[in-house]
Amino acid sequence: MRFTPRGTRFFDLLTEAARNLVTATALLRDLVAAEPAEREPIAKRLHEVEHQGDELTHTIMVELNSSFVTPFDREDIQALAAKIDDVLDFVDTAADLAVLYRIGAFPPGTDLLVRVLCRAAELTASSMPGLSKVGDLEPFWIEINELENEADRIYRRILAHLFEPGGDALEVLKTKEVVEQFELAADAFEHIGDVVQTIAVKES
Protein backbone atom coordinates (compact mmCIF):
# COMPACT_ATOMS: atom_id res chain seq x y z
CA MET A 1 0.00 0.00 0.00
CA ARG A 2 1.18 3.51 -0.80
CA PHE A 3 1.52 6.12 1.88
CA THR A 4 -0.03 9.31 0.49
CA PRO A 5 0.13 12.14 3.01
CA ARG A 6 -3.08 14.15 2.70
CA GLY A 7 -3.55 12.58 -0.76
CA THR A 8 -3.58 15.45 -3.27
CA ARG A 9 -4.21 12.79 -5.93
CA PHE A 10 -7.82 12.57 -4.73
CA PHE A 11 -8.31 16.32 -5.13
CA ASP A 12 -7.00 16.11 -8.69
CA LEU A 13 -9.24 13.17 -9.59
CA LEU A 14 -12.36 14.69 -8.06
CA THR A 15 -11.63 17.97 -9.84
CA GLU A 16 -11.26 16.14 -13.15
CA ALA A 17 -14.53 14.28 -12.52
CA ALA A 18 -16.30 17.56 -11.75
CA ARG A 19 -14.94 19.18 -14.90
CA ASN A 20 -16.54 16.31 -16.78
CA LEU A 21 -19.88 17.59 -15.48
CA VAL A 22 -19.28 20.91 -17.22
CA THR A 23 -18.81 19.12 -20.53
CA ALA A 24 -21.87 16.92 -19.97
CA THR A 25 -24.26 19.72 -19.05
CA ALA A 26 -23.05 21.84 -21.96
CA LEU A 27 -23.85 18.95 -24.29
CA LEU A 28 -27.27 18.60 -22.67
CA ARG A 29 -27.87 22.30 -23.31
CA ASP A 30 -26.93 21.76 -26.97
CA LEU A 31 -29.25 18.76 -27.21
CA VAL A 32 -32.24 20.64 -25.80
CA ALA A 33 -31.65 23.50 -28.25
CA ALA A 34 -31.14 21.20 -31.25
CA GLU A 35 -33.72 20.01 -33.72
CA PRO A 36 -34.86 16.43 -33.00
CA ALA A 37 -33.02 15.06 -36.04
CA GLU A 38 -29.75 16.58 -34.78
CA ARG A 39 -29.84 15.14 -31.28
CA GLU A 40 -28.51 11.62 -31.75
CA PRO A 41 -24.82 12.54 -32.31
CA ILE A 42 -24.98 14.89 -29.31
CA ALA A 43 -26.43 12.11 -27.15
CA LYS A 44 -23.69 9.77 -28.40
CA ARG A 45 -20.99 12.26 -27.42
CA LEU A 46 -22.62 12.74 -24.03
CA HIS A 47 -22.60 8.98 -23.49
CA GLU A 48 -18.86 8.98 -24.17
CA VAL A 49 -18.44 11.66 -21.51
CA GLU A 50 -20.48 9.54 -19.09
CA HIS A 51 -18.19 6.59 -19.83
CA GLN A 52 -15.15 8.77 -19.07
CA GLY A 53 -16.83 9.62 -15.78
CA ASP A 54 -17.23 5.93 -14.99
CA GLU A 55 -13.52 5.41 -15.61
CA LEU A 56 -12.64 8.28 -13.29
CA THR A 57 -14.90 6.88 -10.58
CA HIS A 58 -13.20 3.51 -10.97
CA THR A 59 -9.78 5.16 -10.69
CA ILE A 60 -10.83 6.92 -7.48
CA MET A 61 -11.99 3.60 -6.02
CA VAL A 62 -8.66 1.97 -6.93
CA GLU A 63 -6.80 4.85 -5.28
CA LEU A 64 -8.90 4.41 -2.15
CA ASN A 65 -8.04 0.74 -1.97
CA SER A 66 -4.32 1.33 -2.45
CA SER A 67 -3.79 4.38 -0.21
CA PHE A 68 -2.89 4.00 3.43
CA VAL A 69 -3.70 7.62 4.27
CA THR A 70 -6.50 9.68 2.68
CA PRO A 71 -7.15 13.44 3.00
CA PHE A 72 -10.50 12.77 4.68
CA ASP A 73 -12.69 9.77 5.50
CA ARG A 74 -12.75 7.10 2.83
CA GLU A 75 -16.54 6.85 2.85
CA ASP A 76 -16.78 10.59 2.16
CA ILE A 77 -14.42 10.38 -0.82
CA GLN A 78 -16.42 7.43 -2.11
CA ALA A 79 -19.70 9.31 -1.58
CA LEU A 80 -18.40 12.40 -3.36
CA ALA A 81 -17.25 10.38 -6.37
CA ALA A 82 -20.57 8.50 -6.43
CA LYS A 83 -22.67 11.68 -6.34
CA ILE A 84 -20.66 13.22 -9.17
CA ASP A 85 -21.23 10.02 -11.13
CA ASP A 86 -24.96 10.19 -10.35
CA VAL A 87 -25.23 13.57 -12.06
CA LEU A 88 -23.61 12.15 -15.18
CA ASP A 89 -25.93 9.14 -15.15
CA PHE A 90 -29.06 11.31 -14.98
CA VAL A 91 -27.84 13.65 -17.72
CA ASP A 92 -26.88 10.71 -19.95
CA THR A 93 -30.25 9.05 -19.37
CA ALA A 94 -32.09 12.27 -20.24
CA ALA A 95 -30.24 12.56 -23.54
CA ASP A 96 -30.73 8.89 -24.39
CA LEU A 97 -34.46 9.01 -23.67
CA ALA A 98 -34.91 12.22 -25.64
CA VAL A 99 -33.57 10.41 -28.70
CA LEU A 100 -35.33 7.08 -28.10
CA TYR A 101 -38.69 8.73 -27.41
CA ARG A 102 -38.27 11.11 -30.36
CA ILE A 103 -39.14 14.09 -28.19
CA GLY A 104 -40.16 17.10 -30.28
CA ALA A 105 -39.89 20.59 -28.88
CA PHE A 106 -39.16 20.62 -25.17
CA PRO A 107 -41.73 22.44 -23.02
CA PRO A 108 -41.11 26.09 -22.06
CA GLY A 109 -38.71 26.38 -19.15
CA THR A 110 -36.59 23.36 -20.05
CA ASP A 111 -33.79 25.63 -21.25
CA LEU A 112 -33.89 27.43 -17.88
CA LEU A 113 -33.67 24.13 -16.03
CA VAL A 114 -30.65 23.08 -18.09
CA ARG A 115 -29.08 26.47 -17.47
CA VAL A 116 -29.33 25.79 -13.73
CA LEU A 117 -27.56 22.45 -14.27
CA CYS A 118 -24.79 24.17 -16.24
CA ARG A 119 -24.29 26.68 -13.43
CA ALA A 120 -24.21 23.89 -10.84
CA ALA A 121 -21.62 22.01 -12.90
CA GLU A 122 -19.40 25.08 -13.27
CA LEU A 123 -19.69 25.82 -9.56
CA THR A 124 -18.82 22.24 -8.63
CA ALA A 125 -15.83 22.13 -10.96
CA SER A 126 -14.45 25.42 -9.65
CA SER A 127 -14.94 24.33 -6.03
CA MET A 128 -13.39 20.85 -6.06
CA PRO A 129 -9.78 22.16 -5.99
CA GLY A 130 -10.74 23.85 -2.72
CA LEU A 131 -11.27 20.51 -0.99
CA SER A 132 -7.79 20.90 0.47
CA LYS A 133 -9.29 23.74 2.54
CA VAL A 134 -12.82 22.39 2.69
CA GLY A 135 -13.89 24.79 5.43
CA ASP A 136 -13.69 27.62 2.88
CA LEU A 137 -16.32 25.97 0.66
CA GLU A 138 -19.41 27.10 2.55
CA PRO A 139 -20.46 29.43 -0.31
CA PHE A 140 -20.39 26.37 -2.58
CA TRP A 141 -22.88 24.25 -0.69
CA ILE A 142 -25.11 27.26 0.00
CA GLU A 143 -25.36 28.18 -3.69
CA ILE A 144 -25.77 24.56 -4.76
CA ASN A 145 -28.74 24.31 -2.40
CA GLU A 146 -30.20 27.51 -3.84
CA LEU A 147 -29.77 26.18 -7.38
CA GLU A 148 -31.58 22.96 -6.47
CA ASN A 149 -34.46 24.99 -5.07
CA GLU A 150 -34.57 27.02 -8.29
CA ALA A 151 -34.55 23.80 -10.32
CA ASP A 152 -37.52 22.51 -8.30
CA ARG A 153 -39.49 25.69 -9.01
CA ILE A 154 -38.76 25.51 -12.73
CA TYR A 155 -39.61 21.80 -12.84
CA ARG A 156 -43.00 22.42 -11.24
CA ARG A 157 -43.79 25.08 -13.84
CA ILE A 158 -42.79 22.68 -16.62
CA LEU A 159 -45.11 20.03 -15.19
CA ALA A 160 -47.95 22.55 -14.99
CA HIS A 161 -47.46 23.32 -18.67
CA LEU A 162 -47.26 19.64 -19.63
CA PHE A 163 -50.48 18.76 -17.86
CA GLU A 164 -52.54 21.54 -19.38
CA PRO A 165 -55.74 20.18 -21.00
CA GLY A 166 -55.55 19.08 -24.60
CA GLY A 167 -52.09 17.54 -24.65
CA ASP A 168 -51.39 14.10 -26.07
CA ALA A 169 -51.21 11.82 -23.03
CA LEU A 170 -48.42 9.60 -24.38
CA GLU A 171 -46.26 12.54 -25.43
CA VAL A 172 -46.82 14.16 -22.05
CA LEU A 173 -45.65 11.03 -20.23
CA LYS A 174 -42.57 10.63 -22.43
CA THR A 175 -41.58 14.26 -22.08
CA LYS A 176 -42.17 14.18 -18.32
CA GLU A 177 -39.84 11.18 -17.96
CA VAL A 178 -37.06 12.99 -19.81
CA VAL A 179 -37.43 16.28 -17.93
CA GLU A 180 -37.58 14.39 -14.64
CA GLN A 181 -33.99 13.28 -15.27
CA PHE A 182 -32.97 16.94 -15.32
CA GLU A 183 -34.58 17.48 -11.94
CA LEU A 184 -32.90 14.36 -10.55
CA ALA A 185 -29.56 15.72 -11.76
CA ALA A 186 -30.24 18.92 -9.81
CA ASP A 187 -30.97 16.82 -6.73
CA ALA A 188 -27.68 14.96 -7.22
CA PHE A 189 -25.81 18.26 -7.36
CA GLU A 190 -27.35 19.17 -4.01
CA HIS A 191 -26.16 15.82 -2.64
CA ILE A 192 -22.62 16.73 -3.72
CA GLY A 193 -22.97 19.89 -1.65
CA ASP A 194 -24.24 17.86 1.30
CA VAL A 195 -21.18 15.59 1.19
CA VAL A 196 -18.81 18.57 1.02
CA GLN A 197 -20.58 20.15 3.99
CA THR A 198 -20.30 16.87 5.93
CA ILE A 199 -16.56 16.74 5.22
CA ALA A 200 -16.17 20.35 6.37
CA VAL A 201 -17.95 19.59 9.65
CA LYS A 202 -15.71 16.59 10.28
CA GLU A 203 -12.57 18.55 9.46
CA SER A 204 -13.47 21.58 11.59
Give pLDDT tens digits for 36-47: 999 999 999 999
- Res. 2 pLDDT band, cuts 50 70 90: very low
Q: Where are the domains of the chain?
A: 6-203
Give which of 17, 18, 46, 15 is closest to 120, Cα–Cα. Answer: 18
Which one, of 21, 134, 20, 17, lies nearest residue 73 by Cα? 134
* 147: nearest Cα among 187, 182, 180, 88: 187
Rounded distance between C-alpha atoms, residue 99 and residue 34, angstroms: 11
Tell me: domain 6-203, CATH 3.40.50.300, correct?
no
Q: How many residues does the chain have?
A: 204
| Contact residues for 110 (Cβ-Cβ < 8 A; gap 6+) | 32, 158, 179, 182
Amino acid 86: pLDDT: 97
